[in-house]
Amino acid sequence: MNEHFRVLSPEAPELQPIISGLFGEYAARYGDFFSRDAEVELTEWYLPPQGIFIVLEREGEIIATGAYKPYDPQTAEIKRIWTKSTLRKQGLAGRVVRELERFALHAGYSRIYLTTGFRQPEAVRLYLSEGYEPQFSLEIDPETYSQPPYDGRLRFTKILSLESLSKTA
């Protein structure tokens, strides 16, 4: 199979159906739960050198995506992890995360921060398997995090180093 990563603008026309589908998945899981404090996304956040948007292509078809943007001067925030629904559970999202980590380390970041929603157990498993440290209790029912004082986001962090990249490669 011919697979490769490619850097794209988040406004690339071929990404728009995928991004729409991703937000459709979020709406199906959460309704309007996160709409009350939705942030305005700026394209420049995801453009080099401070950010990046990548796609994994197979035979010319986009099968997975991911991005990061600056969170603070030392920290990149991972966003937009998506895998084509018919190809899930094949390790593609992990490959995207590792590629984003490599780009972030080479861009000068030393940490990664990310959030996932309280109704995405597959994402929690992914980030734990990739060495991310949960900033919440794994012992608590995730639905608890949808109630005040929480905001529904499950936060993770990871320190980046050449050694950390080789451990998950």
Say how many domains are in the chain: 1
Q: Whose CA is closest to 79, among 104, 61, 60?
A: 104
Q: What CA–CA distances, in Å, run from 40 to 90, 105, 113?
A: 32, 26, 18
Distance CA 5, CA 113 (A): 22
Lay out the sheet containing 153-159: strands in order across: 3-7, 52-58, 61-72, 75-83, 111-117, 153-159, 133-134
CATH number of the domain enclosing 51: 3.40.630.30
pTM over 0.85: yes
Domain that residue 77 falls in: 3-168
Over its length of 169 residues, how does the chain's per-residue pLDDT go in tens digits? 799 999 999 899 999 888 888 888 888 888 777 665 556 677 888 999 899 999 999 999 999 999 999 999 999 999 999 999 899 999 999 999 999 999 999 999 999 999 999 999 999 999 999 999 999 999 999 999 999 999 999 999 999 988 766 665 5
Lookup: tokens for 123: 């994402």
